[in-house]
Structure 1
Amino acid sequence: MSSNAADDKKTIPDIIIDKTRNCSYQRLRFFGKGGFAKCYEIQHTGTKEVFAGKIVPKSMMTKSSHKEKMAQEISIHRSLTHKHIVGFHSFFEDISNIYIVLELCKRRSMMELHKRRKAITEPETRFFMHQILEGVRYLHSHRIIHRDLKLGNLFLDDDLHVKIGDFGLAARIEFDGERKQTVCGTPNYIAPEILTRKGHSLEVDIWSLGCIMYTLLVGKPPFETSSLKDTYKRIKECEYRIPSSLRKPAVEMIVMQLQEDPLKRPSVDKLLQHQFFTSGIMPAALPLSCLTTAPRTDQLEKLALQRRPLHEINYIDDGHCGEKISVPQSNRKHLFALRDQLDKLMSTAPSDRWPVLTDELSDPAAQPLVWISKWVDYSDKYGFGYQLCDESVGVMFNDTSKIVMLANGVNVHFITREGQEIYVTMDDYPPELSKKMKLLSYFRRYMSDYLMKAGASAVVRESDGLSRLPHLHQWFRSTLAVIMYLTNGTLQINFQDHSKIILCPLMQAVTYIDVEKNFRTFRFSTIEKYGCDQKLYNNLSYALDKLNAVLGIGPMITFS
C-alpha cells in the first residue's frame, strides 16, 4: 500500500461525522483529486442521499493564505443557489480534515467530454453555452467573478445539465468600479488584463466564456501553444484564428467575447440574446451517448426548440423508412497514437518493482463510457456479436457490414460496408435488412441467456433515438486473447484468464479489470511514475506487441 493510501485510511474515516448537525456520512468510492482536496462519493447514513465530499487535510493548510482562501471559497459558494451552480449542502471539520458536502455530478466535467470528442457539434455547443451563460448571469447579478471558468470547472449531471463549480479563485465586487489586481486563472482561459495587471472585474469571465465556446466548436483553445510564454503573448495580442468551417453567428459571438478591451465585451444578458441561439437547433435535451459520440442531428432537429432551414440538416431520405447518413470511416490515427503512448509507457515505467496501484492513484474521470461486456464469435457462419456495457447489442457481419441495437430495444443503426449509417427500428425496416435483423435478435437472445456480463455496472443509459453509440470497427483473436477496436478509438483486450484491459488514446489511460473483477482506471502518466503490478505490465506489453503487428511495425497480423 502506498503512503498516500495508508494516510487516507488513518485520516479519512469510513464513517464521517458532522457533529454540528448530528449526522454522519459513509465514505464510498474515490471520485478524484485536485489541489489540496480529494473527492469521494459520500452517502448520508440517515437519508441515503449521495453527495460529493470534498475533503481537505488540515496538514496541507500550512499558510494563513491557504486558510483565508478556503474560507472565502466556502463563504462565496454557500451563498449561491442556482440550477446551473454546483449545489452547496454543508461544511464541517474534525481534528484532521475540512469536509465540504456538494452536489454530486456523476457525468464529470466538460473537460472529459472535450478529451473524448474534441470539437462538438453546433447544436450541442448551443445547448451547453446557454446553460453556462445562465449560471454566469446569476453569479454576475450577485457581483461575483468566478475567475476560473474553464471546461474542467463545468460539471455535468445525469441529464447533462451544466453546473458551474470550484469557487477557489472567485471574488466579490465590493463597490462599483472596483478592479481586482490578483493574477489568477488557467493559462488557456486567462484574460489579457489579468496578465498585464491593469486590474480586472466581471469582464474576465466573458473572455473565458469566449475561450470555452471556441474550444467546444473548434476542438482546442484559441490561444494554445506548446509554451506558456507564447500562449501569454498571443493572449496579450489577442491573436487567434477562427476556422472557415464555423457558421457566421458562431464566429460573431466568439469575436464579441474575445475583445482585448474588456469594456468592449458584452454583458451576459446581451450574449444570451445573440443570434447564435436563434439561428440553429437548440436541443431540448441531449443523450448520454454524446459524451463519447456525436448525436443524431436529424433527430435533434425533430426535438429542437428552435429549428433551422431544412437544407442545413445533415441527412437525406433514401426512399424508405430508414434515414441514411454518411458517417466518416474510422481511421488508424487513434491506433498510431495509442501505439506511441504505449511505447513511451513501456520504455519509461519502472519494471524493477511491481507495486499494486491503489484506488487513490486511479483516475475515475478517465474511465471509459463504453466497453464490451459480452461477446460471441460465430464468424464461421455469420459474424461476431457483442453487448456493450449499457446493454446495447451489435453484430459485425462477415461481409463487414455492422448493426447496433440501442439499449431501449427499439432503435437500430445499420452501417453498410461503405460506412453509411441507416437508422431504423425493430418494427420498421427495409426488406433487404430482414435477415440481419433476425440475426441481431438471435445474437441478443443468446448472449442474454448464456453469457455473464463483464466489468462494472453500466455507465451509459440510453432511452431514445438521439443516440449514436460507438460500435465495433475491427476485431481479431489470438492464442491468448480477443482484441476489439471500437469506432471511438477504444481498444479492448479480453485475455483467456478473464482479465481485461481497455485502452483509450484520447484519455491516455488504461482500465484494468483483473481476475477478481476489480475495475480501475489509471492514467499512463501514473504508471510511468509509479509502475504497476507485473500482470498489468505484461498485459500492456502484449497490447503494444499486437499494435505493432497491426500497424505493420512488427510481425504482421490483420484484423478480422
Structure 2
Amino acid sequence: MAAKPEDKTTDIPDRLYDANHRKTYKRMRFFGKGGFAKCYEIIDVETDDVFAGKIVSKKLMIKHNQKEKTAQEITIHRSLNHPNIVKFHSYFEDVQNIYIVLELCKKRSMMELHKRRKNITEFETRYYIYQIIQGVKYLHDNSIIHRDLKLGNLFLNDMLHVKIGDFGLATRIEYEGERKKTLCGTPNYIAPEILTKKGHSFEVDIWSIGCVMYTLLVGQPPFETKTLKDTYSKIKKCEYRMPSYLKKPAAEMVIAMLQPNPESRPTIGQLMNFEFLKGSQVPMFLPSSCLTMAPRIGTNDAIEDPNQRKPLLELNGVRDDTRLESTFLKNNLHDAITASAQMCRHNEDYRSDIESLHQQLTHLINEKPRLLQGNLGDENTDPAAQPLFWISKWVDYSDKYGFGYQLCDEGIGVMFNDTTKLILLPNQINVHFIDKEGKESYMTTTDYCKTLDKKMKLLSYFKRYMTEHLVKAGANNVTVESDQISRMPHLHSWFRTTCAVVMHLTNGSVQLNFSDHMKIILCPRMSAITYMDHEKNFRTYRFSTIMNNGVSKDLYQKIRYAQEKLKKMLEKMFV
C-alpha cells in the first residue's frame, strides 16, 4: 500500500508573532486538525500561559464564502464571555495563516468520553447537560444560534467543565421571528426543519441538545443508521427508539426536545424546569477518572446500570405517557442494583474488549501497511486518542505476594496472588478493595477492615519500593484525584513473556512493556495505539492512519507480537 504524502508544517512557523498585541507564542504539541484548520498547543513566551492555537491556512480558503465564514466565526466568538464557552483570547494573521488563540481544553471533547464510555450514568449526564444548557442559554440570550452542537464541539477542561466551541456554523438572529434557511449541521444532530428547508431558529439547538443527551444516556445517537439517506429519513419522521431502562424524568426530557414540530420544543430557559434537573441535585464536579470509568456514587442516581441492555421502545417523537408508565414500572425491578455491582463488569465484558482489539489488530496486519524507516510525522498522530491512564511503574513479587504497579496519576495498585486487589487512589487516602468475585469495598488508609491488615501493609511496601527504586514512565499532566467518588481503572490480568510484560486494565486498554524499554498501549475503544520510546515521548496513532499511511518497522513488529499475545489471552478466557 502506497504511503500518502506527510502533512507539512513548513507554512506554520515555530514562533507566532501577534504584532497588534506585541505577543509572541511558541508552537508546541500538535493537538489535532479538521476542515481548514490545525490546532497546536501554544505558549506565550513572556507569561508562559498555555493556549490552543487554531491555525487556518489561507491557501485552503479558496472560495470567497470560506473567508466570510471564518470572519463570521471570529466576529461571533470574540464577542462571547461565559464559563461554559471556550474563551476567545485573540486572533492575528500573516501572509500564510490566520491564528486564533483560544482557551486550551486538555481533556479534549465529549466525543472521546463517548468513545471510551459509550453510555454514561444519569448522574453524570445531569452534570454535563446542565452546563451545556447554561452555555446555550447565554448564546440564545445574545441572539446567537450555534447550529452545530454535538459531542465533538463540547470540550472539557482539566476540571471537566463543559466548554462549547467551534462557532464555524453559528449565526446571529437580527430580528425577532427571523428564520434562517442555510442547510448546515452534523447528520446525527441536525434538526428536521433544517433538512426540509422550512426555515429554522433557536429550536435547532434544543433538538441538538436532545440528541446529545440521548447519546450520553444510551451510547449511540438516536437517529444513527448506516447511511446518510436513512438517517435523514428517520430524522424527518422523528423515528427513534427509547430504551426501557431510562428513568421517566430523563426520557421525558429527551422526548420533549426531540419534537418534530419546532414550536413544540421547550425553550432553553424552560429546560431548567424539567424534573430531570430540578428533581435531583446537579453534581458540582466530577473526577477526571469519569472519562474512562463510571464514578462511585452511593445515591439513587448511581443505581441505574448503563451497561444493562434491555429491549428498545419504538417512539415517533410524540409523548405517550401510557407506554412510558408501563416501561418505567419495569425499572423498579432494577432499582436494587448497588453502586458497587453497577460497574463490576463480568469476565465476558473484559473478553469483548480483548476480542475487539484482536480483531482490529488482525485487520490492520492483513491490510499489510507500508513499512517505513522512521515514525510517521506529528500531524499523522491523534493526541485526542492518547490514553488517560497507563501503568508507569511495576514490580513483580508474584513468587511471594503479587504484582504491584503505579498508574500515571500516582494511584497505586496490587494484584495479589489470590486474585484480590487493593487500589490506593492518588489522594493517598481512599482505598478500594476488590475480592475474588469482583465485589468492591471502599475504605481509607486509616479506617479499613482488620482482616486486610496484612494486605494493607504489603500495599504500603509496594508503594515505598516503587517510589524509591523505580523511574516513572511517560509522566504527563493527568490531574490528581482528590474526591470521594473516583473509580480508578485497575489491573484485570497480567503475564510475562520472554520479551515483555503484558497488562490488561479494566478500562479495556492493554499495555506491553518490552525488554528493550519500549512500551505500547492499545485501546480497542479508541482504535488506537500509543508508542512510548526510550526518551518517554508519546506518539498515538489511529489504526486507520497506520493502514493508510504506513508504520515504522519496529512498531509493526510490536503490533504483530501484541496480536499473538491477545490471541493467547482469548484462548485462556475461553477455556
State how far apart, in whole Å, the 2-side matches of 1:365 and 1:278 are.
34
Give the 3-state SS of the residue equivalent to 1:338 in structure 2: helix
Is 2:384 the counterpart of 1:365? yes
State how far apart, in whole Å, the 2-side matches of 1:78 and 1:125 are.
29
Is 2:99 the counterpart of 1:82? no
- What residue number does 2:293 align with? 293
Instruction: Give, in angstroms, the shift of residue 43 of structure 1.
Output: 1.0
- What residue number does 1:251 align with? 251
- What residue number does 1:103 align with? 103
Residue-by-residue CA offset, 1:216-237 (whole Å, 9 max, x unaligned): 1111100111111111111110
Q: State the AA in 1 paired with 2:227.
A: S
Instruction: Give, in angstroms, the shift of residue 298 of structure 1.
Output: 1.6
Given the superposition, is the C-alpha separation of residues 275 and 229 from structure 1 closer, same or farther in structure 2, using an over 3 Å criterion? same
Report if the CA contact (8 A) 1:485-1:491 is conserved: yes
Is 2:488 the counterpart of 1:466? no
- What residue number does 2:121 align with? 121
Map 1:25-424 to 2 at 5 A. 25-298=25-298, 315=338, 327-330=344-347, 331-424=350-443
Residue-by-residue CA offset, 1:127-173 (whole Å, 9 max, x unaligned): 11000001000111111110000000001111111110000001111
Report if the CA contact (8 A) 2:145-2:173 is conserved: yes
Residue-by-residue CA offset, 1:318-349 (whole Å, 9 max, x unaligned): xxxxx897723352000000011101111114
Residue-by-residue CA offset, 1:380-415 (whole Å, 9 max, x unaligned): 111111000011000001111111000111000000
Q: State the AA in 2 paired with 1:173.
A: I
State how far apart, in whole Å, the 1-side matches of 2:301 and 2:256 are.
27
- What residue number does 1:450 align with? 469
* More off after superposition, 207-216 vs 42-51: 42-51
TM-score, reference length from structure 1: 0.93
Give the 3-state SS of the residue equivalent to 2:90 in structure 1: strand
Q: Count how many residue pairs are aligned between Structure 1 and Structure 2.
A: 541
Instruction: Give, in angstroms, the shift of residue 517 of structure 1.
Output: 2.4
State how far apart, in whole Å, the 1-side matches of 2:299 and 2:34 are.
38
State how far apart, in whole Å, the 2-side matches of 1:324 and 1:114 are.
22
Q: State the AA in 2 paired with 1:454.
A: A
State how far apart, in whole Å, the 2-side matches of 1:364 and 1:267 are.
37
Bigger relative contact order (CA 8 A; separation at least 6): 2
Report if the CA contact (8 A) 2:371-2:551 is conserved: no
Give the 3-state SS of the residue equivalent to 2:493 in structure 1: strand
Report if the CA contact (8 A) 1:281-1:301 is conserved: no
Instruction: Give, in angstroms, the shift of residue 278 of structure 1.
Output: 2.4
Give the 3-state SS of the residue equivalent to 1:473 in structure 2: strand
State how far apart, in whole Å, the 2-side matches of 1:524 and 1:274 are.
42
Instruction: Give, in angstroms, the shift of residue 459 of structure 1.
Output: 2.0
State how far apart, in whole Å, the 2-side matches of 1:203 and 1:558 are.
50
Q: State the AA in 1 paired with 2:13.
A: P
Report if the CA contact (8 A) 1:50-1:104 is conserved: yes
Report if the CA contact (8 A) 1:369-1:460 is conserved: no
- What residue number does 1:484 align with? 503
State how far apart, in whole Å, the 1-side matches of 2:52 and 2:300 are.
32
State how far apart, in whole Å, the 2-side matches of 1:343 and 1:558 are.
18
Given the superposition, is the C-alpha separation of residues 291 and 20 from structure 1 closer, same or farther in structure 2, using an over 3 Å criterion? same
Given the superposition, is the C-alpha separation of residues 108 and 236 from structure 1 closer, same or farther in structure 2, using an over 3 Å criterion? same
- What residue number does 1:521 align with? 540
Instruction: Give, in angstroms, the shift of residue 515 of structure 1.
Output: 2.6
Q: State the AA in 2 paired with 1:456.
A: A
Report if the CA contact (8 A) 1:300-1:466 is conserved: no
- What residue number does 2:521 align with? 502
State how far apart, in whole Å, the 1-side matches of 2:102 and 2:432 are.
39
Give the 3-state SS of the residue equivalent to 1:72 in structure 2: helix
Instruction: Give, in angstroms, the shift of residue 114 of structure 1.
Output: 0.7
State how far apart, in whole Å, the 2-side matches of 1:523 and 1:543 are.
16
State how far apart, in whole Å, the 2-side matches of 1:299 and 1:249 are.
16
Given the superposition, is the C-alpha separation of residues 141 and 29 from structure 1 closer, same or farther in structure 2, using an over 3 Å criterion? same
State how far apart, in whole Å, the 2-side matches of 1:116 and 1:352 are.
29
State how far apart, in whole Å, the 1-side matches of 2:92 and 2:343 are.
55
Instruction: Give, in angstroms, the shift of residue 520 of structure 1.
Output: 1.1
Report if the CA contact (8 A) 1:472-1:484 is conserved: yes
Given the superposition, is the C-alpha separation of residues 300 and 94 from structure 1 closer, same or farther in structure 2, using an over 3 Å criterion? farther
Give the 3-state SS of the residue equivalent to 1:204 in structure 2: helix
Instruction: Give, in angstroms, the shift of residue 359 of structure 1.
Output: 1.2
State how far apart, in whole Å, the 1-side matches of 2:460 and 2:238 are.
56
State how far apart, in whole Å, the 1-side matches of 2:85 and 2:124 are.
19
Instruction: Give, in angstroms, the shift of residue 299 of structure 1.
Output: 7.4
Residue-by-residue CA offset, 1:498-520 (whole Å, 9 max, x unaligned): 00100000000000012332211
Report if the CA contact (8 A) 2:418-2:436 is conserved: yes
State how far apart, in whole Å, the 2-side matches of 1:299 and 1:540 are.
43
TM-score, reference length from structure 2: 0.91
Report if the CA contact (8 A) 1:392-1:404 is conserved: yes
State how far apart, in whole Å, the 2-side matches of 1:257 and 1:558 are.
44
Give the 3-state SS of the residue equivalent to 2:539 in structure 1: strand
State how far apart, in whole Å, the 2-side matches of 1:424 and 1:155 are.
33
**Structure 2 gap segments, 5+ residues each:** 303-331
State how far apart, in whole Å, the 2-side matches of 1:190 and 1:57 are.
28
**Identity rate of aligned residues, in percent?**
61
**Structure 1 gap segments, 5+ residues each:** 303-308, 317-322
Q: State the AA in 2 paired with 1:66.
A: Q
Given the superposition, is the C-alpha separation of residues 466 and 352 from structure 1 closer, same or farther in structure 2, using an over 3 Å criterion? closer
Report if the CA contact (8 A) 1:324-1:423 is conserved: no
